[in-house]
Amino acid sequence: MGKPKFRTQIIVGIAATFSFTSPGFHLGWPSPSLPSLQAADSDIPITSSEGSWIVSFLTFGCLFGAPIAALLVDSLGRKLSLLLGAFPLIVAGILLHVADSFWWLIAARFMAGIGTGMMFTVAPIYLAEIASADIRGALTSMISLSINVGILLTYCVGPWVSRVTLASLGTVVPIIFVLMFVWAPESPYYLIMKNDRKSAIKSLQWLREDGDVNADVGKIEESIEFDQKHAGTFRDLVLVPGNRKALYIIVGITIAQQFSGVIAILSYCGLIFETAGSTLDPSISVIIVGAVQFISGIVCIFTVDLTGRRPLLLISTVGSSIFLGGVALYFQLKAGGTDVSSISWLPLSSLVGYNIAYTIGLGIIQCVILSEIFPYNVKALAGMTCAMTGSFGGMAVAKFYQVVADGWGIHAAFWSFSGFTICSAVFTLIAVPETKQRSLQEIQEQLHKTTESKIALEKSGE
């Protein structure tokens, strides 16, 4: 057997993960937009409470997008489901463009959430099914990189252009994804599931850059045969011990990700720097944070399959907690009347450090592990459950931050995020397994300890 070739898989992976640039745009949109909307001369005046609802409705929309995608992914296919996910995001950009009231903005954020929920449910499945084990982690981690591209785009452009111009950019980005991805192959797993063996062979030959894919086809056929005999239901996801353990792990990581405060930090970054009172322009500070996050995402692509999932997650949770504590300390001193001019650098440096720590672990590992630890017959349900858990968590954090920051101060919110993230480090140490460069079958054997489970799951692995 010749040296494995990954060029085509990487190209397809880039096209697929570009779908997350638009969700990244909408995640970052509030940071440059909320200060303008809450200003005295705003064309759509909003209160602090209304601003938190605008932030929250992105995650509320995800609650609807995730089950829609779970219904479509096995009936219409992975590729078409991803393409359909772009259309709510296009609509969201149009609504932001024409918005003339608070409720138009709410509608735009809701549509963006639907598209985001669809992308988060489908993309990890597609990437896991087209990628070889050696690069599966790297390809899946590109989801985080694409999100960071979208966030950086809004951070760099948003402060300097009108709300309408920024909205136009939000419409163009998902259209570019559609044009990039429309030529990509369908997942060979889905094609064999639909009894289209000829197309599946062509898909695998193109993806593997190898004419002899008989062994791969055989493994996929065995996997699909098992899945069709044991159609996955939510009952299977919860009651089968190995699936339940996998669900416990991914829900725990998702909660850790959300309660580190990421959506509040991304959305309120501009307002946080304004409140900090640094001599540096808040818009420049926001761009620095976004640029560092983007660079960290690039580095992660090359480390996730070398360092491993568990060590990165541990470093990420501990580091995030420390830097969140740095932000909390600054605002607590400021609220107590202490002269903080000598440490005016602390909020920016701490948020930069947080973004690095978050990106290398919490930001990427969730999608990587989600793509790896579930058998195919429950993978769509697991993705939907994960997306909905993240949506509830994101909504809670976005609203929690506004209420706590307005009532008790920014420092109280950041101390809460820091404390929760330390708890997440303990969870990682106890519960999260290492899956680096293991085949999907080996991962299933690790999770399903009984002899009966091992025999059954030999056919549902890679």
Under DSSP, the state recorded for 450 is S
Which is more confidently placed, 460 or 171?
A: 171
Per-residue pLDDT for 3 more than 70?
no
Q: Taking residues 338-344, what's their average pLDDT? A: 89
State the Cα–Cα distance between residues 139 and 134, nearest whole angstrom: 10
Write the pLDDT tens digit of every residue in 153-196. 999 998 889 889 999 999 999 999 999 999 999 988 888 888 88
Q: What is the pLDDT of residue 447?
A: 67
Residue 229's pLDDT band (boundaries 50, 70, 90)?
Answer: low
Higher pLDDT, 364 or 251: 251
Whole-angstrom distance, CA of residue 336 vs CA of residue 369: 43
Helices 376-408 & 410-431, crossing angle to 10 degrees? 150
- Strand, coil or helix: what is 458? coil
What's the sign of the alpha-carbon dihedral 191, 192, 198, 204?
A: positive
Q: What confidence score (pLDDT) does residue 43 get?
A: 87
pLDDT at 408: 93
> Does 257 or 369 have the greater pLDDT score?
257
**Arithmetic mean of pLDDT over the chain:** 85
DSSP 183: T
Q: What is the mean pLDDT of residues 85-109?
A: 95
- Give the mean pLDDT of 32-53: 88
User: Quick one: how far is CA 182 from the chain centroid?
Assistant: 22
Residue predicted with more confidence, 378 or 419: 419
Between 173 and 135, name the one with better pLDDT: 173
pLDDT, residue 226, reads: 61
> Residue 205 carries which side chain, given as an amino acid letter?
Q
**Distances in Å between the alpha carbon of 375 and those of 20, 80, 202, 227, 288?**
24, 22, 24, 8, 40
Residue 457 pLDDT:
45
Closest CA to 439 of 137, 11, 14, 120: 137
pLDDT in tens, 310-340: 888 899 999 999 999 999 999 999 999 898 8
Q: Which two tokens stand for residue 344?
A: 């005016």
The per-residue pLDDT for range 140-152, each reduced to its tens digit, is 778 888 998 999 9
Give the pLDDT of residue 111: 97
Locate tokens 């570009």: which residue?
A: 18
Average pLDDT over residues 44-72: 90
Instruction: Examine the pLDDT at 91 and tell me if it is beyond 60.
Output: yes
What residues have CB less than 8 Å from 320, skipping those under 6 apart? Answer: 260, 354, 357, 358, 361, 362, 418, 421
pLDDT in tens, 438-453: 655 566 666 666 434 4
* CA atoms of 106 and 96, how far apart (whole Å): 9
Query: Alpha-carbon distance 417 to 415, whole Å?
Result: 5
Instruction: For residue 3, report the phi and psi dihedrals to the nearest 5 degrees.
Output: -65, 135
The percent of residues above 70 in pLDDT, for the chain, comes to 89
User: Which pLDDT score is estimated for 437?
Assistant: 56
Model confidence, pTM: 0.80
Residue whose structure tokens are 């973004």: 355
Listed in sequence order, the residues at least 6 apart from 266 whose beta carbon sits closer than 8 Å to its beta carbon are: 27, 28, 30, 31, 151
Phi, psi of 442 (to 5 degrees): -65, -40
Mean pLDDT over 252-280 rounds to 88
Whether pLDDT at 221 is above 60: yes
| Closest-CA residue to 322 (of 346, 301, 295) | 346
Which letter does DSSP use for residue 129 in this model? H
Asked whether residue 279 carries a pLDDT value surpassing 80, the answer given is no
Q: Assess contact for 316 and 361: CB atoms under 8 A.
A: yes
Query: Which among 324, 398, 336, 410 has a CA at the least distance from the CA of 362?
Result: 324
Say which amino acid occupies 209: E
Domains of the chain and any CATH numbers = 9-184+230-457 (1.20.1250.20)
What is the structure's pLDDT at 453?
A: 45
3-state secondary structure of 386: helix
Q: What is the pLDDT of residues 197-206, one digit of tens each?
A: 888 888 888 8
Contact 237, 381 (CB under 8 A): yes
Single-letter amino acid code for the residue at 90:
I
Type of residue found at 44: I
Highest-scoring range by mean pLDDT, 22-26, 295-299, 429-433: 22-26
